[in-house]
Structure 1
Amino acid sequence: MSGRWSTLKTVHEFPDGELWLRRRKQRNSENNAKQARIALEEFDAFMYVYGFEGVEQIDNVALEDFSYFLVDEDYGNHAHSTTRQRWYMVRNYLNDHVDEDLGWEDDGWILSWTRGGTETAHQRDLEIHWLPIPMIHKLIEGAAEHPMTPLRNELIVRILYNTGCRPSEVARMQTRRVDLSTRSITVQNSKVKDTDAPNYEKTVFFTRKTRQKMREWLNRGGRDSLVTASESIRLFPGYNSKEISSRQVNSIVRQAADAADVQEDSLERADGVMVNRVTPKALRHSFAVHSVRGRELSGSPAMDLETLRQIMGHSTLETVRQYLQFRETTTRNTFDSCFPD
């Protein structure tokens, strides 16, 4: 069995984490230890996205949120069977190394919804957090303040908002698939694995202002300033690597939000949990919401749902129909223009 199984690569500290993995190998198998290592690293990514500073902050609600993180299309994107396996591995680690009186023995809820889903889980998945345009402009300015890669980070935030792409899709974008003349990028749909499927790839578009920045990046030395650029096929290489990960895309957005002082405006979900307001997923939702509302100041028409579905890479119209709830003001304004007093 090849592959890393005992060396953790995490942002947060996991007390005795590698010792715990070695013991799993001794008691079970190397493959079991490898799966446990992957589970802890995904939990580390969850903690980073949700703003936890250490495992000692984890409670029942956080552990339940982790299960939804694992199935989220922008993060884990796992099947329910994999979600259940990863969740139990993390819970076992926490029970061994954190306060054991947190009551995680009651796990009937995860067995219930991973076997068939529940209305509560479904409703939580439908929650839409989006950003007003002035906040997005501040976020772009915050990204441009990065001390090492300001142009790259600004472009990543712009592309996330302009295209509605997922972090993994942005990370995999290739330089050769960018067409400056049409302001478009052809990108692989992260939800489609069949290379013969008609929606395996999708074409997304960016604004004229973003094209100016893209020209600086591609034609005026921006990308070439990175030592890894010449050996990378990616549109956005890493500072010390040929490519970036979806986790790094999340980090870039988080850093931009902190620099712009907009992350402090956190959101309270229906279950009372406070979450970061500014995330790549919030930018994806923002793209969809502003698309269906149209450009209210200029009077430009809204995007039709079929076009939105294709750009976002969804398989059905029902998935994008949820964004119509934010169109009420636009619809009322249209009505008033047709029926003036």
Structure 2
Amino acid sequence: MNNTSEIDDRKAERAIEALGADNEKSENSIATWQSDARQFLKWYADNGVEESAVDAERFEIVDYLEYCDENFHPNTVASRHGSLKKFFGLVAGEYLNFREDNPFTKVEEVRSQPNEDPMQKEQGDDFIPHISAEEKEQLAENVPNPRIRNELIIRMLWQTGMREHEIRNLKISHIDREQRIITVHSSKTGTRKVAYQQNVDTLLTQWLDGGYRDRFASATDSPYVFVSRKNEQLAKSRVNDVVKKGAKAAGIQESLGTDAAGKERWKVTTHCLRHSFAIQSLRNGMNLRYLQELMGHEKLETTEKYLIEVESDALEQQKHIGPGTEKSD
């Protein structure tokens, strides 16, 4: 895990220091602002596109807050939202003037004006986009080229529940191929271990040992499992592009309407596969606390949201094999 002191982002640190200049606020409030801003700084060091967090784009800030939605209590999310609003207000204001625009204005538009698409209204607030095991097979069979790499990505996401940035950051040294265990390193949630099944062995061997990965010049000096033709590591949006294109080709993609910024939202994404991992694990009988550990959730309540998706399964089971369905002699 990164320490804040190891992150060389002087502009962002200058802005964090400036948060302490508000003499009208208590020391506790200022400490909270600065702590929240440093949490974003740590996240951005691993996941951001620009050199400095002060140059973050709207979609990157939204990604971070969605990560917070998934892993922290709503009060914590609200605190970080407010702190980042103040942080970017300073960054784009006359006092620092590090950038001309304030990206947080658009962030608030997206997060405070949820999509009113009829499909979403019908789905309800508890809707969690996910796919079935059969749809996963269709997805894996319809990925774009390079097929070996991209099918391996799909199957690993399905079987491990890794986040998009976690599979992008996956190194060859993180995989114990004999035990089929992956050590997932994340600056957000620390280190955890996940397993994959024997049926992934062939694809993984083809990719790593069969010459498919070595066809990319970038693979020569890259420690990462997944490389591209030009880069030793996949670009931030590449994994999600693979998933969305494969889903469209398989005929399982669905539009969820548009967000407040007019950007179309799709059902089958990398995060959808993470949801699918959780729901399929529960359907297969996995203990909820074990699932919490595998997903890297800080709070059990975060994992509990998936139970609603398997309640209907329990009712169907009761109808077919519950007491009273046994045959009389």
Q: TM-score range by the shorter chain?
A: 0.5 to 0.7
Q: How far apart are residue 228 of structure 1 and its match?
A: 1.4
Counterpart of 1:303 in structure 2 is 286
Counterpart of 1:141 in structure 2 is 141
Letter of the structure 1 residue corresponding to residue 307 of structure 2: L
Q: Distance in 1 between matches of 2:252 and 2:109?
A: 38
TM-score by length of 2: 0.64
Is 1:217 matched up with 2:207? yes
Q: Where in structure 1 do 4 or more consecutive aligned residues deviate above 4 Å?
A: 33-37, 74-78, 83-89, 92-95, 107-111, 268-274
Counterpart of 1:299 in structure 2 is none
Closer, same or farther in 2 for the Cα pair 1:237/1:248, shift >3 Å? Answer: same
Closer, same or farther in 2 for the Cα pair 1:220/1:309, shift >3 Å? Answer: same
Counterpart of 2:67 in structure 1 is 73
Counterpart of 1:322 in structure 2 is 305
Q: Distance in 2 between matches of 1:191 and 1:34?
A: 19
Q: How far apart are residue 270 of structure 1 and its match?
A: 11
| Structure 2 counterpart of 1:182, from 175, 179, 184 | 179
| Gapped regions of structure 1 (runs ≥ 5) | 6-32, 47-65, 96-103, 112-122, 193-199, 295-301
TM-score by length of 1: 0.62
Q: Which structure carries more relative contact order (alpha carbon 8 Å, separation 6+)?
A: 2
CA deviation vs aligned residue, 1:234-280 (integer Å, no higher than 9, x gap): 111222111123322222222222332333x2125999996201111
Q: Distance in 2 between matches of 1:86 and 1:76?
A: 23
Query: Does the 8 Å contact 2:110/2:259 carry over to 1?
Result: no
Matched length: 250
Is 1:255 matched up with 2:245? yes
Q: Distance in 2 between matches of 1:76 and 1:38?
A: 24
Counterpart of 2:280 in structure 1 is 290
Percent pairwise identity: 28
Letter of the structure 2 residue corresponding to residue 328 of structure 1: E
Q: How far apart are residue 152 of structure 1 and its match?
A: 1.0
| Gapped regions of structure 2 (runs ≥ 5) | 1-7, 12-49, 72-76, 93-99, 113-123
Query: Does the 8 Å contact 1:228/1:241 carry over to 2?
Result: yes
CA deviation vs aligned residue, 1:293-325 (integer Å, no higher than 9, x gap): 11xxxxxxx111111111100112111011111
Q: Distance in 2 between matches of 1:275 and 1:110?
A: 14
Closer, same or farther in 2 for the Cα pair 1:236/1:108, shift >3 Å? Answer: closer
Letter of the structure 2 residue corresponding to residue 339 of structure 1: P
RMSD: 4.0
| Structure 2 counterpart of 1:161, from 149, 158, 178 | 158
| SS at 1:73 equivalent | helix
Q: Distance in 1 between matches of 2:230 and 2:309?
A: 41
- What aligned pairs does 1:1-341 form with structure 2 within 5 A after superposition? 38-39=55-56, 42-43=57-58, 46=59, 68-73=62-67, 79-80=80-81, 81-82=83-84, 85=87, 93=101, 127-143=127-143, 145-146=144-145, 149-192=146-189, 200-263=190-253, 265-267=254-256, 275-294=265-284, 302-335=285-318, 336-341=320-325
Q: How far apart are residue 134 of structure 1 and its match?
A: 2.3
CA deviation vs aligned residue, 1:175-216 (integer Å, no higher than 9, x gap): 012122222211113423xxxxxxx21111222222221111
Q: Distance in 1 between matches of 2:219 and 2:257?
A: 41
| SS at 1:188 equivalent | strand
Q: Distance in 2 between matches of 1:332 and 1:161?
A: 25
Letter of the structure 2 residue corresponding to residue 182 of structure 1: Q
